[in-house]
Structure 1
Amino acid sequence: MTTYVLVPGAWHGAWTFEPLARELRTLGHHAYPMSLTGLGSRRHLLTPSVNLDTHIADVVNLLEDEAITDAVLVGHSYGGMVITGAADRVPERVKGLVYVDAMVPEDGQSTWSLVSENERTWYLDGTGENGYTSAPLPFFDPRATPHPLASLLQAVRLEGDLARFAEKSYVYAAKWPTPSPFTELYERLSDSPQWRTHAVESGHNVMREAPRELLEVLLSHG
C-alpha cells in the first residue's frame, strides 16, 4: 500500500485528480487529491497574500497532520513547484516524486522563470480587476478558478536537492498544441540515470487525456 498526495496545477482544484484518486483507492492505496489555498473548493480563501510558500505549507501540513511517512508526491504543471518545496521541507516523509508535465525547480527559480513568454502572457492577461489573480483560460474546465499571481512569481527556496529521493519520475505530454515549455527539461532528465521518464500521447491535461498511462506510472512507485 502506498500513499499518494496529488497536487494540481494552476487554476485547478482536487477535482482534476479525483478520478485517478478513486482508481488508486480501489487498488488499496491511500490517495489525497488536494485543493490548494485559494483554489477549487478553497477559493473563498484567496487573498493577495497567498503565494508559493502557502501552497507548500498546505502539503507539509497534510503530511504532518495525517502522520504520513511514505508519501509519493505527484505534481501537475505548477504543482511541480509545490511538491519540490514540500519534499525539501520534510524529506523524511517523502518516498518518491512524480512530475506530470511539470516544473522541476532548483533553488531560486520560479514558475515565471521556468516558462516561456507564451505562458507569461497567459498569467498577466488574466490579472483582472483585482490585480492579484490570474484568470483561468477560456478553454479550461468550468470548475477552474482564479489563481494567486504571487505563487507564480515567487521563487522557491530549497536547502537540498532532489538527489536525496531515489524514486523520481517525469511524465511528459508530447502533444501540446503550442511548443511545450517542458521539452528541454524532459530531454535533460531522460539523459539522467536518477530519473525515470515517460512520454505520453497527450496534451497538457494528462489526467484527463492519458489516465491509464499516468496510473501505471504512479503504480510503479507502489
Structure 2
Amino acid sequence: MATYILVPGAWHGAWTFEPLARELRRAGHEAYPVTLTGVGARRHLLSPAVNLDTHIADVANLLEDERITDAVLVGHSYAGMVITAVADRLPDRVKGLVYVDAMVPEDGDSAYSLVTENERAWYLNGTEETGYASAPLPFFDPRATPHPLASLLQAVRLEGDLSRFDRSYVYATGWPTPSPFTALHDRLAADPDWYTYAVESGHNVMREAPEELLKILLSHAGHTTR
C-alpha cells in the first residue's frame, strides 16, 4: 500500500485530484488531495503573506500530523515546486515523487523562472480586488480561484538533491501553445534515474487523461516498494 499526497497546481484546489484519489483508494491505497492556503476551499485565507513557504508548510504539516512516513508526493504544474521542497525538508517521510507536467526546481529557482514568457504573463494577470493574486484564466474550471502571486515568484531553497527518491515525470504532449516543460522532459527521459511518460493530453492531465495517470501512479507504487 502506498500513501499518495496529491498537490494541485496554481489556481486549483483539492477537487482537481479528488476523482483520482477515489480510484487510488479503491485500489487499496491511501490518498490525500491537498488544498493549498489561499486557494480553492481555503481562498478565504488569501493574503499578501501567502507564499511558497506557506504551501510547503501545508504539505509538510500534513505529513507530520498524519505521521506519514511512506509518502508518494504527486505535484501538478506549480506544485512541483512544493513537493520538491517538502521532500528536501522531510526526506524520512517521503518515498517517491511524481511530477505531473510540473516544474522540477533546483536551489534558487522559482515557478516564474522555470516557465516561458507566455506563462509569466498568466502569472502577472493580477486581480483588481487584491493586487497580490493571479487571476485564473477564462478557460479554467469555474471552481478555479485567484492564486497567491508571491508563491509563484519566491525562489525555493534546497539543501539536498532528489537522487534518494524514486522519481517519475509525466509529460503532457497536447499543449495548444509550446509547452514550457519540453526541454525538461527531454533531459529527464535521457536520465536512467527517472521514469518518464509522455501522455496525449493537455496540461490538465487529471481531467484529460485520468485513466492513464492512474496507471502511472499505481506503477510508481511498485517502484517505491522495490
Per the shorter chain, which TM-score range?
Answer: over 0.9
Mapped partners of 2:138, 2:216: distance in 1: 30
- Residue identity opposite 1:49 in structure 2: A
The corresponding residue for 1:135 is: 135
Q: Gaps (5+ residues) in structure 2?
A: 222-226
Q: Which residue of 1 aligns with 2:85?
A: 85
Q: Is the 8 Å Cα contact of residues 6 and 34 (structure 1) preserved in structure 2?
A: yes
> How far, CA to CA, are the matches of 1:66 and 1:84 in structure 2?
19
Secondary structure of 2:23's aligned partner: helix
Asked if the contact 1:126–1:136 (Cα under 8 Å) also holds between the matched residues in 2, the reply is: no
Q: Distance in 1 between matches of 2:26 and 2:81?
A: 28
SS in 2 for 1:143: coil
CA RMSD of aligned residues (A): 0.7
Aligned counterpart, 2:195: 196
1:209 matches 2:198: no
The aligned counterpart of 1:181 is: 180
TM-score, length-normalised on structure 2? 0.97
Q: Deviation digits for residues 41-92 of structure 1, max 9, x if unmatched?
A: 1111111000000000000000000000000000000010000010001000
Alpha-carbon distance, 1:185 to partner: 0.2
SS at match of 1:142: coil
**Residue deviations 1:98-157 (CA, integer Å, cap 9, x gap):** 000000000000000000000011111234342100000000000000000000000000
Task: For residue 221 of structure 1, give the secondary structure of its aligned residue in structure 2.
Answer: helix
- How many Å separate the matches in 2 of 1:22 and 1:189? 29
Aligned sequence identity (%) = 80
Once residues 174 and 127 of structure 2 are traced to their aligned partners in structure 1, the CA distance between those partners, rounded to angstroms, is 27
Q: What residue in structure 2 maps to residue 38 of structure 1?
A: 38
Q: How does 1:59-208 map to 2 (within 5 A)?
A: 59-165=59-165, 167-208=166-207
Distance 1:175 1:199 in 2: 10
Report the 3-state secondary structure (helix = DSSP H, G, I; strand = E; otherwise coil) of the residue aligned with 2:169. Answer: strand
Which structure 1 residue ranges, 4+ long, deviate > 4 Å from structure 2?
none
CA distance in 2 between partners of 1:148 and 1:5 (Å): 21
Shift of 1:179: 0.2
Q: Paired residue for 1:221?
A: 220
After superposition, the C-alpha distances for 1:12-66 in whole angstroms (9 at most, x for unaligned) are 0000000000000111110000000011111111110000000000000000000
Amino acid in the other structure paired with 2:187? R
Aligned equivalents of 1:173 and 1:208: distance in 2?
12
Please, what TM-score do these two structures have when normalized by structure 1? 0.98
Residue 104 of structure 1 aligns with an amino acid whose one-letter code is V
How many equivalent residue pairs?
A: 221
User: Which residue type is aligned with residue 20 of structure 1?
Assistant: L
Preserved contact between residue 128 and residue 135 of structure 1 (Cα < 8 Å): no
- Report the 3-state secondary structure (helix = DSSP H, G, I; strand = E; otherwise coil) of the residue aligned with 2:73: strand
Alignment of 1:10-25 (within 5 A): 10-25=10-25
Whether the aligned pair in 1 keeps the contact of 2:101 and 2:181 (CA below 8 Å) is yes
Matched residues in 1 for 2:129 and 2:93: separation?
40
AA partner of residue 131 (structure 2): G
2:57 matches 1:57: yes
- The residue that corresponds to 1:47 in the other structure is 47
Unpaired runs of 5+ residues, structure 1, are none
Read off the aligned partner of 1:168 and give its amino acid letter. R
